[in-house]
Amino acid sequence: MILIHENIEFHNAAALEPLHGLPGLCPVRIPAAVRHTLNHGARRQGVTATGVELRFVTTAPSVRVAMAAHDENVEVHVYRGGFGHSDHRIAAGQTRVISVGESERFRLVPRKVLEDGALSPDLWRVQISGGTVGFLGLETFGHPVRPPETGEKPALRWLAHGSSITHSWALGYPHHAARRLGVDVLNKGLGGSCHCEETLAAYFAENETWDFASLELGINMRGQFTPEAFEERARNFVETLRAARPDAPLILITHFLNMEHHPVPGGANAQQAEYQKAFDEILRRIAGERPDEPTHLIEGRDLLTDFDGLTCDLIHPGVFGHIQMGENLARLMRPLLPGAPR
């Protein structure tokens, strides 16, 4: 599914919805009909716009984009193709008009140099990081505007689902890896609320458009689900996606390096560490059961290898941890992608 509104492509958005009492149309990553079947945390996280991009091509030498931030500050990163243009912040509860203009220096280098990446240098990308936002409008001063065409953006689409570590922000590990791979990423992480729910799997299978997927599962379920319950949910989730895309690479990722890999004997987190170990074994078993299918396993500890790549909560990676994870994931995923040498 590719969402077009007012000749703008809303990449990574499932719908534009009015939310009660909030200005503008909200680009949500999970539509209400699906969100409202999920756990409460996922209902809240599904409306956040991390990784959503407004993508358009226009002849206008400058444009204005009006957006509102709802309950938390929102970072906005503007690009021309893959070239960083400017960064902006919209304070919670505020509306802002972001005014940007084309770079005169693009005319000072050969066109073929600008076209070296997977994204056309003609493509404006207004990328949102975190929070719930309302889109209020795009002003091009009468110049025509259109959504990108096929050759102006990456050919492959990656569905990335997981916890807050996947949800991260628009510069987190999925986005870093996607840039390295030259693919588009659909960031469908659900911070604190990734519970392998059946209706979400069905939505990904039936309504989202993707060429390969990664599932980072388990960390949000360690404190609420037994290994048996996790296995049932994870297996159903994988089988639902597998049935819908039998030839698409499906990559399971075990827990990233965190404090539960080094529990203190008899400590308060002993059961979570035990469950984490059991959950990872379950993912390994699911991935290995059908060697004739393109279901693969990547060990999370092969992605984040430095313990000090974590923040002080000893669960979430910091900036350097996300960079390391993105680099390693791109390297390990590359041979698994469609058309890549096996």
The pLDDT of residue 238 is above 90: yes
The structure's pTM equals: 0.96
pLDDT, residue 170, reads: 86
The mean of the pLDDT values for the chain is 95
Residues linked to residue 125 through DSSP beta bridges, in sequence order: 55, 79
β-strands 184-187, 157-161 pairing = parallel
d(CA 238, CA 70): 34
Of residues 83 and 1, the one with the higher pLDDT is 83
Q: CB neighbours of 205 closer than 8 A, spacing ≥ 6?
A: 240, 241, 243, 244, 245
| Domain 4-150 part of CATH 2.60.120.260 | yes
As a whole-number percent, the residues of the chain with pLDDT over 70 amount to: 99
pLDDT tens-digit map of 196-229: 999 999 999 999 999 999 999 999 999 999 999 9
CATH number of 157-336: 3.40.50.1110
Neighbour count for residue 35 (Cβ, 10 Å): 23
Residue 212: half-sphere exposure toward Cβ, Cα within 13 Å: 23
Section 317-340 average pLDDT: 94
The pLDDT of residue 342 is above 50: no
Tokens of 289: 């059961």
Residues linked to residue 255 through DSSP beta bridges, in sequence order: none
Where does CATH 2.60.120.260 sit in the chain?
4-150
pLDDT tens-digit map of 256-310: 999 999 988 877 778 899 999 999 999 999 999 988 889 999 999 999 999 999 9
The pLDDT of residue 19 is above 50: yes
Where does CATH 3.40.50.1110 sit in the chain?
157-336
